[in-house]
């Protein structure tokens, strides 16, 4: 499990939520020839980049892809569905796609939960999400 210490070093000593570190991004607007319009490019900050391919913990809300059923692949948001990136009220740095460990299906819940998994940063595709959590497992349901 990784944690950012006040010294700025990453260590594997304690569990912390990664959202604060993942929110540190640089946004740049550029014209994209393929889309034919100006788009916003998101560059994860140095701390988020250091978390790439490491185990992290994130707390948030399941945003189901195929209804409120059990799923092994879903979107996960720092904020509840009515405030999430997909509804236009938050930035793309506040959401990630999740793939569960061994494709174990997870029940949908509207409650806040905590997950652990391996964080991957996706910077190659302008239309995709910035973050993916692989091999995710539920730690707890926070209330």
Calpha distance 66→21 (Å, rounded): 29
Which residue did the predictor score with more confidence, 81 or 16? 81
29 DSSP assignment: E
The tokens of 118 are what?
């391996």
Give the position of tokens 């991004």.
25
Task: With a cut of 60, say whether residue 3 has pLDDT above it.
Answer: no
The tokens of 1 are what?
């499990």
- CATH number for region 3-141: 2.40.50
pTM reported for the whole predicted model: 0.77
Could you read off the pLDDT of 9-65 as tens digits, one per residue?
Answer: 444 434 446 888 898 888 888 888 888 998 877 889 898 899 999 999 999 999 888
Could you read off the pLDDT of 117-141 as tens digits, one per residue?
Answer: 999 998 766 557 899 999 999 986 5
């Amino acid at each position: 499990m990784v944690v950012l210490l006040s010294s700025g070093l990453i260590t594997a000593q304690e569990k912390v939520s990664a959202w604060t570190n993942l929110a540190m991004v640089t946004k740049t607007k550029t014209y994209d020839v393929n889309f034919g319009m100006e788009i916003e490019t998101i560059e994860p900050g140095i701390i988020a980049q250091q978390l790439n391919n490491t185990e992290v913990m994130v707390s948030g809300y399941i945003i189901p892809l195929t209804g409120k059923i059990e799923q092994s692949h879903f979107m996960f948001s720092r904020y509840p569905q009515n405030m999430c990136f997909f509804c236009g009220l938050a930035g793309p740095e506040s959401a990630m796609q999740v793939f569960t460990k061994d494709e174990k299906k997870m029940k949908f819940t509207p409650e806040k939960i905590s997950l652990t998994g391996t964080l991957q940063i996706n910077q190659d595709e302008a239309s995709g999400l910035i973050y993916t959590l692989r091999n995710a497992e539920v730690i707890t349901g926070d209330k």
